[in-house]
Structure 1
Amino acid sequence: MQINQNKRKQRLILLSFVASILLTGLKFFAYYLTSSNAILSDALESIINVIASGFAFYSIYLSAQPKDRNHPYGHGKIEFFSAGFEGALIVIASLFIIIEAVQRLMNPAPIQNLLQGSGFILFTILVNTVIGYKLLTEGKKANSLALIADGRHLMSDSVSSAILIVSVGLIILTGYDWIDSVASLFFGAFLAYNGFQLASKSVAGLMDATDEILLEKVVQTLKKNKKKDWIDVHNLRVQQYGSDLHIDCHLTLPYYWELQKVHETIHNFENTLKDNHTGETEIFVHADPCLFQCCYFCRIDDCPVRQHAFVQDIEWDSAKLVKNEKLYTEAKINIQE
């Protein structure tokens, strides 16, 4: 299953790479026909698409490689680096586009054959939108940042090209050539924002920043499938490396259980989490023995060592489960209140 998913990701990013090469050629031909600065800006940005898609293809190939001695957690983090690399390239391209737009405002040049050039741009919008949407959809399913980053890049390219078509229409209607350079300025600013967003997400991933959406998904899985034997979960940490998910936590179980039963319960706990994730999932669970304070929120009915009657459940949420302390502290506070 995992092998098929990796191959599918590679085919999708290869499609993006080939399409980017062809569409970049079309945009430069449209610039040759029109001498439009806005179209040139769009074509220059498409060079970034080619480079980024090529690097994304390599990163997805590398992230699919199995763990080895030097990379015990796998190679999935390369996808964060790929997204950051793509974001940095986008920001650099946006700076060149803005500089060129300012120069053309100061030194205007004639524009021609706008209708013919716009036809090529409309075709690139259609292709980029279809491929970009596919990459985004599949990237979210596979939790692949490289696919998502490339998909967002293509979608932003479609939006910027659509803005370009609007500016061309305004030039044809009004005859004001300066609209071309102003559109390039807006285009450059739009690209800079998208590039910064990608780079920021990449840095957060490389620094193992908490993904709140992913954490909440894991917490909801635990809540939905909570068993009576799972007395307490704490010190929960969730990290995504490419399509691989890494989870570690402390699970409180009855202290009088035999090792075999503890092992089976932890195994079932891990399978519950794995069944709710499409990619490879690696889980490390530290078993903690219960304390007498846990009796207040423990639901094991036939517990032979219970010292206190059950009082109330503790609602599991991400704020509680990530703490490195047992939940009986909060239970004690609630009971006192």
Structure 2
Amino acid sequence: MTAKLCQLLPQKKAILVSLCISVLLMLAKFAAYFMTHSNAILTDAAESIVNVLASGFAFYSIYLATLPKDENHPYGHGKVEFFSAFVEGVLIALAGLIIVFKSGYDLLFPKQITQLFEGATIIGATGLINLLVGFYLINTGKKHRSITLEADGKHLMTDAITSAGLVVGIVLIQLTKIYWLDSVISILLGLYIIFNGYKLTRRSVGGLMDESNVELVKDIVCILQENRHDAWIDVHNLRAQQYGADLHIDCHITLPYYLDLVKVHQEISDIDKLINGKAEHKTELFIHADPCLPECCNYCNMKECHVRSEDFNKEIAWTVDNATKNKKHFQ
């Protein structure tokens, strides 16, 4: 438990930095809006409210993820990170919808815009800061397998992109004096924000629904194939899920039926050590041992097998396609 808490300290530090910076940038953007009365700048300022709310909720979810496993949560509390990302995605999409409707109204009933150069300077500075913080959060999230940090980082990267587009738009308005472009730019940025909110929500729903981690499955199958033992006749029904920073894999492995319990335990322990020694992340494995059947003999490479009913023909290479199916390879 102490090791896990130490591991999660960087996540807490990263999200706290994000929260503090989000508050400061939100105040700066609203100051820019009150200077200019620009809808496009209001778009960026409104999204900053979402940044603050999302970072606050993310900080709480990371705190929950540090709690140890208990009777009610045998897999730990890491799944709250998917819920955090879901909430952030919904908030982002909601902010985008509000921006589109507000900008559409102001396109029909425009208002005077002032001090665009000063506003563009403030927005450009906040965009650069969000870009740097976003990179920091994404890198920390990938290093510590935190979907919450990755989600918050990608959100800030989105904010930085919209800020860059906003600055370009403001310069264009200043040069052309076509002020209705302000609302058009705001609507386009709002649609972009909605799209990013959808993508984030889609990923979080997949995690909440225990969607299999395809990349992790590929890594595991590759490791098993490259280091397979003769006694490992086949691997099937292999699944992998992520719960916050914790990874869980369960699978069935077919072994010779005459192995005693000690030998079966040894083979399964070898798989556990292999995965945790060669995979990029520490993983909790749940392995079910199946006894071999006569139909397995033609692809079983077990040497000096005294119960073989058919000569060995050829090894069946394990792939994501056959290892994830819930059946032995001869079926």
- Category of TM-score, reference length = shorter chain: over 0.9
Aligned to 2:314: 312
Distance 1:259 1:129 in 2: 56
Indicate yes or no: 2:181 matched with 1:188: no
**Given that residues 37 and 184 in structure 1 are in contact (C-alpha distance below 8 angstroms), is that contact kept between their aligned partners in structure 2?**
yes
Q: 1:277 to 1:144 in 2, by over 3 A?
A: farther
Q: CA shift at 1:279, angstroms?
A: 5.0
Alignment counterpart, residue 149 of structure 1, candidates 141, 148, 151: 151
8 Å contact kept, 1:66–1:74: yes
How many angstroms does 1:199 deviate by? 1.2
Q: Deviations for 1:279-311, whole angstroms, at most 9, x for unmatched residues?
A: 552211111111222221122223233232221
Paired residue type of 1:211:
N
Partner SS for 1:238? strand
Q: Summarize deviations over 1:231-262 as a string: whole Å, max 9, x none.
A: 11111111111111111111111222221111
Q: 1:78 & 1:229 partners in 2: Cα distance?
A: 39
Q: Report the alpha carbon displacement of residue 277 of structure 1 after superposing the two structures with TM.
A: 4.7
For structure 2, the 5+ residue unaligned runs are none
Deviates more, 1:11-20 or 1:276-285: 276-285
For 1:292 and 1:267, how far apart are their aligned partners in 2? 25
For 1:124 and 1:225, the matched residues in 2 are separated by 50
Q: Distance in 1 between matches of 2:139 and 2:227?
A: 27
- Does the CA contact (< 8 Å) of 1:247 and 1:282 recur in 2? yes
* Aligned pair partner of 2:260 in 258, 265, 269: 258
CA deviations over 1:156-215 (Å, ceiling 9, x no partner): 111111110110010111011111111100011001111111112111211112232232
Match of 1:99 in 2: 101
Aligned position for 1:4: 6
Q: Tell me the equivalent position of 2:125.
A: 123
Q: Pick from 244, 247, 262 the counterpart of residue 246 of structure 2.
A: 244
Alpha-carbon separation, structure 1, partners of 2:23 and 2:279: 34
Specify the SS of the correspondent of 2:325: coil
Aligned to 1:332: none
Corresponding residue number in structure 2 for 1:15: 17
In the TM superposition, what is the alpha-carbon distance from 1:218 to its structure 2 partner? 2.4
Q: How does 1:325-336 map to 2 (within 5 A)?
A: 325-329=327-331
User: Which of residues 109, 112, 121 in structure 1 aligns to 2:111?
Assistant: 109
In the alignment, residue 136 of structure 2 is paired with which amino acid?
A: K
Which residue does 1:223 correspond to in 2?
Answer: 225
Deviates more, 1:273-282 or 1:172-181: 273-282
Correspondence for 1:87 among 78, 86, 89: 89
CA offset at residue 276 of structure 1? 4.2
Q: In the alignment, is the contact (CA less than 8 A) between 1:142 and 1:279 conserved in 2?
A: no
Answer with 1-10 or 105-114: which moved more.
Answer: 1-10
Distance of 1:52 and 1:119 partners within structure 2 = 25
Query: 1:56 — aligned with what?
Result: 58
The 5 Å alignment of 1:155-166 reads 155-166=157-168
CA contact (8 A) 1:79 1:145 kept: yes
Structure 1 125/38 Cα, relative in aligned 2: closer, same or farther at 3 Å?
A: same
The 1-side partners of 2:236 and 2:297 are apart by 17
| Contact 1:164 1:183 (C-alpha < 8 Å) held by counterparts | yes
Aligned partner of residue 240 in structure 2, secondary structure:
strand
Partners of 2:146 and 2:227 lie apart in 1 by 26
Structure 1 position 143, deviation (Å): 2.4
State the distance in 2 between where 1:10 and 1:277 align.
Answer: 25
Q: What CA distance in whole angstroms lies between the structure 1 residues aligned with 2:148 and 2:34?
A: 32
Partner of 1:139, secondary structure, is helix
For the residue of structure 1 that corresponds to 2:29, the secondary structure is helix
Contact 1:2 1:280 survives alignment (8 Å): no
Question: Contact 2:252–2:288 at 8 Å: present in 1 too?
Answer: yes
Using the TM superposition, name which of 98-107 and 211-220 deviates more: 211-220
**Matched residue type, 1:296:** N
Q: TM-score, normalised by structure 2?
A: 0.95
Measured in 2, the distance between the counterparts of 1:276 and 1:117 equals 52
CA distance in structure 2 between the partners assigned to 1:224 and 1:131 by the alignment: 40
Across the two proteins, how many residue pairs are aligned to each other?
329
SS in 1 for 2:236: strand
CA–CA distance in structure 2, aligned partners of residues 273 and 223 of structure 1: 11
What RMSD in Å do the two structures reach over aligned CA positions?
1.5
Mean Cα deviation higher: 150-159 or 129-138: 129-138
Residue 304 of structure 2: SS of its match in structure 1? coil
- Structure 1's unaligned 5+ residue stretches are 330-337
CA distance in 2, matches of 1:82, 1:127: 23
User: What is the identity, as a one-letter code, of the residue corresponding to 2:226?
Assistant: K
